[in-house]
Structure formats: structure tokens, C-alpha cells
Amino acid sequence: MQETIDLSTLRVVVAAADLGSISAASERLQLAVAAASARITALEESLGFRVFERSSRGVQLTPAGQMLVQRSRALLTDADRLAQHLRGYSEGLQGQVRVLANTSALLEVLPRRLEQFMKAHPLIRIDMEERGSPEIPLALIEGRADFGVVDLPVPPAGLAFTPFFSDTLVLLAPRSHRLASRRRLRLVDALDEPFITLTDGTALSNRLLASAADAGRQLHVRMRMRGFDAVCRMVAAGLGVGVLPLEAIAPQLAHLPLTAVPLSDPWARRTHHIATRTDAPPAPAAMTLIRALTTH
């Protein structure tokens, strides 16, 4: 005996059991009565036992039919739940999104926007990791993340950029420093000073080194720090000057003896981008997150 059971037939059986009538089940499921009756008959022949006892008053489950309906309810519930989950994934309402983001994005914009997004999309899980902008492209190309937030001038081969947010780089100096009274300056005006920078290989460090080289000078790096807060504290201690995004260091400016002097260099106004692969569109859930982040 070869048993063939499909979900549509089980829905007919469960509806007929609930309503006590094949015709009523047909009406609920919007099937012809003959089609519904034929499904039940074919199922009974396949199983080798009667599911219903039929009479002029309708249908009544046999003992074997009661077992079938009980198991069918659980199976249909699981199938409906699976269908709902699959619709959620396909419509970008459910899923997992892997994101690599630079420090500026994590400090300046992502916390507030992600809070709003996760309230609106509780079924989307976001796995976020902090990375330097220069190392994010390779991770994306290798498929280790769905998208990244980077501070890079042009998209590397294989990636596309979507503008995300902008920030402004400033020169940080102790309040008593000779440059603290300047209303605006170029980086070259500060190149005689020792610098407290981020570790080598960050987009910001690369930008400073390139700007100094364009001016025919070298950047005198006294210390390299891993985070913005450490740079601020070293500058406040009078150990050198630094360059950081103004929007990311508001807490330090409020509590440390620091002055932020605007830089007039064109590169001091940065646009951060969302980077995605050109050969593989982001999954629906990732696209939902990208649209939410870029429509503010």
C-alpha cells in the first residue's frame, strides 16, 4: 500500500470533522462538494480504512479517523507556521542580517536608528561587528557579512556604495594649546605638532597620512590608540593633538579640557557609505534594514 497524503486533503478532513459535514467543509474551503468528497474517498482508499461514517445527518469520525485528525491538526499548524515564516523571509520581515560597521557609524548614528528599526521589526536579528573601513570590503566579497558601513573614497571592485551619513573631522587640542584659539585651520597648519592617532590601517589614519604626504610633510605620530575615547584622553593630557569626527566625541568635549577646531581641508567632510556586493543582491531582511537606515 502506497500512502499519499497532501495538506489540502488533510484540511478537508479537519474541516469536515469540525463542521460534521463535507458540504459545510467545502463551503469553508471554497471547494466543490464533489471535489472534497473525492479527496476524502481517495484518502480512505489509500490508507485502507474509513475516516468518516457517513449518514444523512452528515459525517462522524471513526476511531482511526479521530487519530488522523488529531495528528493532522498538529501537522497543519506546523505547515502554516512554516509558510508564515517563509513569507516573512521573502518579504524581508524576518531573518538574520550580518553587518560590519566602522567606529564612526557605531558611535554617531547606528544606536538610535537600530533601536527604532528593531522595535518595528522584532523578527529580524542583527549581528553587528565593529571593523575598520579598509578591512570591510574583503569580508563582504568573501560573503562574511550582508553589508558594511565604510568610510572609503571609492567602492572597491565588486562592491557598490549607497550614501548613508556624513560627519565632520576636527582637530582636537588641549584648551590651553596654541591652536585652540583658531576658528579654522588646515591640517598642514598643525603638522609641527605630535599627533595622537588611531591605529595604523584605519580610514582616518590613512587620510591623515595621505594629506600630510600631499603637503610634502610627514605626520609626527607620538601615540596610536585603538579607540576615540583613548585619543581624546591623551590629547586632553597635553600629549599631542588629534583628528576625530566631531559628531562622535560630544561626551568627551563636554567632560574633558578639549577644544575642537574645524578643519578646512576638503576631505574633512566625510560621507560614509553602505557597501554591498554587486554580484549578489542582499537578502530581503538585509534590504529591509538598508532601506530603513538610508531613508532618514
Does the pTM of the predicted model rise above 0.85? no
The per-residue pLDDT for 125 is 92
pLDDT of the residue at 175: 95
> Looking at residue 184, what is its pLDDT?
96
Residues 19-56: tens digit of each pLDDT: 989 999 899 999 899 998 999 998 888 888 999 998 98
Q: Which pLDDT band, with edges at 50, 70 and 90, does 101 fall under?
A: very high
pLDDT band at 91 (very low <50, low <70, confident <90, very high): low
Do the Cβ atoms of 287 and 295 come closer than 8 Å?
no
Q: Is the pLDDT score of 89 beyond 80?
A: no
* Rounded-to-10 torsion of CA 41, 43, 44, 47: 160
Question: All 3 cell numbers of residue 74?
Answer: 498538529
Does residue 231 or residue 77 have the better pLDDT? 231
- pLDDT grade, residue 201 (50/70/90)? confident
CA-wise closest residue to 105 among 260, 196, 228, 225: 228
Question: Exposed, middle or buried, 276 (CB in 10 Å: 0-12/13-18/19+)?
Answer: buried
Domain borders along the chain are: 7-88, 95-165+271-294, 166-270
- The class (CATH top level) of 7-88 is mainly alpha
Residue 1 predicted with pLDDT over 50: no
- Judged against a pLDDT cut of 60, whether residue 2 lies above it is answered with no
7-88 matches 95-165+271-294 in fold: no
Sign of CA dihedral 253, 258, 264, 267: negative
Q: What is the DSSP letter of 187?
A: G
Measuring CA to CA, how many Å separate 217 from each of 178, 192, 266, 268, 287?
Answer: 20, 9, 18, 18, 44
The reply to whether CATH 3.10.150.10 applies to domain 166-270 is no
Give me the mean pLDDT over the 159-184 stretch. Answer: 96
Report the chain's C-alpha Rg in angstroms: 32
Residue type, 224: R
Calculate what percentage of the chain has a pLDDT beyond 70: 96
Burial 135-173 (b: 16+ CB within 10 A, else e): ebbebbbeeebbbbbbbbeebeeebebeebbebebbbbb
Which whole-number Å values give the CA distances from 34 to 8, 30, 104, 169, in the listed order?
15, 12, 66, 75
Q: Which of 22-26, 245-249, 267-271 has the lowest mean pLDDT?
A: 22-26
Alpha-helical (H) ranges within 91-178 are: 103-108, 110-120, 136-141
Mean pLDDT of the chain: 91
What superfamily does domain 95-165+271-294 belong to in CATH? Periplasmic binding protein-like II (3.40.190.10)
Least confident of 250-254, 268-272, 275-279, 282-286: 282-286
Alpha helices per DSSP H over the chain: 7-19, 22-29, 33-47, 63-90, 103-108, 110-120, 136-141, 203-214, 228-236, 250-255, 284-294
Q: Please name the amino acid found at residue 125.
A: R
Q: What is residue 282's DSSP assignment?
A: P
